[in-house]
Structure 1
Amino acid sequence: MEILETLSMRPEPARLGDLARDLVIPKSSMHALLTTLVNRGYVERDSTDRYRIVESFRQGFGWVGGFEAQLRAVAQPIIDATRDATRETVFVCVQRPDLDVQLVCKAVSEQPIRYDAKEQSCLPGYATVMGRVLLAHTDPDAVDAYFARTELQAATDRALTDEAAIREELERIRAQGFGTIEEEFAQGGCGIAAPIRNGEGRVVAVVDIATVAQRYAARKGEMKAAVLETAEAISQRLGHRKERE
């Protein structure tokens, strides 16, 4: 807590040695503590090996009473790297209480033709790959209630609007560990998404690589590997370990 409080009051990043001296903590112990804080998404280390608190936490620790601020801090540098590697847009979403999905953070492709969505967009759970991945790992009774109250509407002529067909897709997602969608929610838009888990192994969010149909058709295997790797990296930062499952 002293490290976090100290960094929150510093306008500039601090070196490990300076923090160790100011807080009277051995450098080896300070290094271990800072490494943990970086891995958990509370602190960032820059290219000159200086440390600073994640900017969104500077005015207060928003994840106390709210998971999204921590998820955003943990996920953003990871999805930025995935965006740079794939040159495609990457989204991270969480499930709302009504079982639709909320966009938490994104890294938008710099290609001239790209997929994008507004910050904090709310998207239908049944009609998007992010929503389906989350529904696939939601309590069955809650899913039953969701379908009972939701009118299934087609966004494109390829959209699934049959409940049985969507449920089959949820089963497929659970079995294979990821979901895909091709021109169902947006004409010319495709996506591949994988679940993000917390330290207890529970699915708490989803990461999606969103692209255009032509590029997706040519690079499906590459995008699958990238989204699974990204989901695992974010999950590990949230404390998940496969051996705990």
Structure 2
Amino acid sequence: MGSLFTYMNHEVKSAGRILDILEYMTTLRDGVSLSQVMRDLGFPKSSTHGLLQTLMARGHVVQNSAGKYILVEASRRGFPFRRNEEPLVVLAMPFMQQLRDRCGETVLLATMNANCDIRRLAKCVSHHPVRYDVNMDSAIVPYCTAIGRVLLAHGAEEAVEAYLARTTFLSYTRFTVTNRDQIRRLLIKVRRDGYAVNDQEFVTGSTGLAAPLFDAGGEAVAAVNLGTLTSRYLARREELLLMLRDTADQISQSLGSLSEDPRRDPVAGREQEPRREPDRR
């Protein structure tokens, strides 16, 4: 009886420490070292390291290039991951952080389900005083956002057609495309080109760029999005797009993607040519 009580008490203590670490890290914006966590919380090294490794394995914490621990934004907001999303976030976050640091803009990761609902999984927020940012749980409108169009463009044909048929297309700004046939053509172009640009169609003054992430079977399992102010996008459009696509390629390679596979157009149902690099003129 005594050993059972000791075992149960140990498990409760570990669970409490996990929650203590999560609550502690929600107060921090920058990475924190193992020694600092130990010092601030008064935990022993062996158990602290083990708890942080558990949080990393479950996709709630990542390590940056300096070895410091950072709480994933979704966990900061109490946004639970599904089992298949955890390894994707763990794999993608270091690449997202590198992209954010290279370009200075906000980077997002999202997936889409069979009903064409889109879910944000992680974000790395720009350090600019004036920057693009979103709540992790705020709604994403697929037809007029870059990340939505990328995921729709690579979705199952039947699911995409059902989405287009049931959706009421609203104008969020004077730039929003609301014509169903025009949106179909945009999705064909997005799939052919390998990226999408949302230029002030959802929020005036902000521009989004997105590219798909492919798994080993060539399926688009997620998309990465770069969000910025339109003024900064116009000044650096080619540079930002190339950095985004380079990051998407790196993540896809880490996922085991087969590059340059022929891919069918989800709307028209026909083969499309491999994606092309943006015109540099």
Give the alignment's TM-score, normalised by structure 2: 0.65
For 1:208-219, list aligned pairs within 5 A.
Answer: 208-219=225-236
- Contact 1:132-1:170 within 8 A present in 2 as well: yes
Larger Rg belongs to: 2
Q: 2:220 aligns with which of 203, 210, 228?
A: 203
For 1:115-130, list aligned pairs within 5 A.
Answer: 115-130=132-147
Q: Does 1:77 align with 2:114?
A: no
Specify the alignment match of 2:246 in structure 1: 229
Q: 1:11 aligns with which of 48, 51, 59?
A: 48
Aligned Cα RMSD in Å? 3.1
Q: How far, CA to CA, are the matches of 2:260 and 2:242 in structure 1?
A: 20
Q: How far, CA to CA, are the matches of 2:144 and 2:197 in structure 1?
A: 11
Cα offset, 1:98, TM superposition: 2.4
Give the alignment's TM-score, normalised by structure 1: 0.74
Consecutive unaligned residues of structure 1, counting only runs of 5 or more, are 1-8, 14-37, 57-61
Consecutive unaligned residues of structure 2, counting only runs of 5 or more, are 1-45, 51-56, 75-79, 263-281
Please list the CA deviations of residues 180-208 of structure 1 after superposition, one character each: whole Å capped at 9, or x if unmatched: 11100101010111000111110010001
| Secondary structure at the counterpart of residue 207 of structure 1 | strand
Q: How far, CA to CA, are the matches of 2:231 and 2:151 in structure 1?
A: 26
Cα offset, 1:97, TM superposition: 3.4
Cα offset, 1:45, TM superposition: 8.4
Q: How far, CA to CA, are the matches of 1:244 and 1:113 in structure 2?
A: 39
Relative to structure 1, is the Cα distance of residues 243 and 149 closer, same or farther in structure 2, using a 3 angstrom cutoff? closer
For 1:85-104, list aligned pairs within 5 A.
Answer: 85-104=102-121
Q: Does 1:153 align with 2:189?
A: no
Relative to structure 1, is the Cα distance of residues 188 and 140 closer, same or farther in structure 2, using a 3 angstrom cutoff? same
Q: How far, CA to CA, are the matches of 1:77 and 1:231 in structure 2?
A: 12
Cα offset, 1:127, TM superposition: 1.6
Relative to structure 1, is the Cα distance of residues 227 and 98 closer, same or farther in structure 2, using a 3 angstrom cutoff? same
Cα offset, 1:103, TM superposition: 0.9
| Secondary structure at the counterpart of residue 108 of structure 2 | strand
- Contact 1:104-1:120 within 8 A present in 2 as well: no
Q: Letter of the aligned partner of 1:231 in structure 2?
A: A
Q: How far, CA to CA, are the matches of 2:140 and 2:227 in structure 1?
A: 14
Aligned length: 205
Aligned-residue identity in percent: 33
| Secondary structure at the counterpart of residue 142 of structure 2 | coil
